[in-house]
């Protein structure tokens, strides 16, 4: 993983956001209250004691609360924020099943936990929530239209501004369509 590609910090509740942020802006609080747990990563100013390697050398941190019950159980049991990459090699598509992880990582990891297929098969939407208006840094499962339901101002788009989007991992080689749960294969 490139050193300038920040990790997403996973938390099990809103209090986790407060642990890793220097301060939580009202917009970040509103978006987290509406969309967590779920596929929304919020970019906020990082707490000063958050390791630089987690932030990719930036002053900000991306934080999300996953919706998967097993991920939430692990986070609750640890009672600590968990900075983690996707379960794939850099430059490879994001996995949606344990079989995808095994196929990609093979013997590079000691354990793969099979907790079922991902409910959403695309990366989380990354939103800069430091100001009064959400800025979409990376498009994902939660759309700008969805964000309008919470934000006082319509979201701005800065697609491609998320540090991780400069790498091949975020550039699928085929057309991508987002289907609502139950609409896919």
Beta bridge partners of 8: 62, 84
Q: Tell me how far the alpha carbon of residue 70 is from its chain's centroid.
A: 16
* Residues 92-108, mean pLDDT to the nearest whole number: 89
Domain span including residue 128: 8-170
Q: What is the CATH number of the domain that holds 74?
A: 3.90.870.10
pLDDT at 137: 92
pLDDT-based confidence at 171, cuts 50/70/90?
low
- Of the candidates 40, 13, 11, the residue with the CA atom closest to the CA atom of residue 140: 40
Enumerate residues 6+ apart whose C-beta is below 8 A from 146: 35
- Of the candidates 152, 154, 157, 153, the residue with the CA atom closest to the CA atom of residue 140: 157
* Residues 123-144, mean pLDDT to the nearest whole number: 91
Position 162 in a domain: yes
For residue 13, is pLDDT > 90?
A: yes
* Exposure of 125 in the CB half-sphere (CA atoms within 13 A): 27
Position 84 in a domain: yes
Residue with tokens 């991780």: 164
Position 108 in a domain: yes
Distance between CA atoms of residues 67 and 139, nearest Å? 18
Task: Express each pLDDT in 101-130 by its tens digit.
Answer: 999 998 899 999 999 998 877 888 999 999
Position 107 in a domain: yes
Position 176 in a domain: no
Position 128 in a domain: yes
Beta bridge partners of 62: 8, 43
* Residues 42-54, mean pLDDT to the nearest whole number: 95
Distance between CA atoms of residues 66 and 173, nearest Å? 26
Position 112 in a domain: yes
State the total domains in the chain. Answer: 1
Position 178 in a domain: no
Q: Cα-flanking dihedrals φ and ψ of residue 179, to 5°?
A: -110, 145
Number of H helices, E strands in the chain: 6, 7
Among 61-75, 87-101, 121-135, 158-172, whose mean pLDDT is lowest?
A: 158-172
pLDDT, the chain, mean: 85
pLDDT at 169: 47
Q: Tell me how far the alpha carbon of residue 110 is from its chain's centroid.
A: 24
């Amino acid at each position: 993983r490139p050193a300038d590609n920040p990790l997403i910090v996973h938390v099990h509740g809103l209090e986790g956001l407060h642990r890793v942020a220097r301060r939580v802006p009202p917009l970040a609080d509103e978006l987290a209250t509406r969309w967590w747990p779920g596929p929304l990563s919020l970019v906020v100013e990082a707490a000063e004691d958050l390791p630089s390697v987690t932030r990719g050398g930036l002053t900000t941190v991306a934080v999300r609360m996953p919706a998967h019950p097993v991920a939430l159980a692990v986070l609750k049991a640890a009672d600590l924020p968990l900075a983690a990459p996707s379960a794939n090699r850099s430059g490879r598509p994001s996995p949606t099943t344990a079989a995808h992880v095994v196929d990609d990582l093979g013997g590079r990891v000691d354990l793969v936990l099979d907790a079922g297929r991902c409910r959403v098969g695309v990366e989380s939407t990354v939103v800069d929530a430091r100001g009064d208006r959400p800025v979409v840094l990376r498009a994902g499962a939660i759309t700008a239209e969805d964000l309008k339901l919470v934000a006082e101002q319509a979201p701005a788009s800065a697609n491609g501004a998320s540090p991780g989007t400069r790498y091949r991992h975020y550039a699928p080689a085929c057309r991508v369509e987002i289907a609502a749960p139950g609409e896919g294969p």
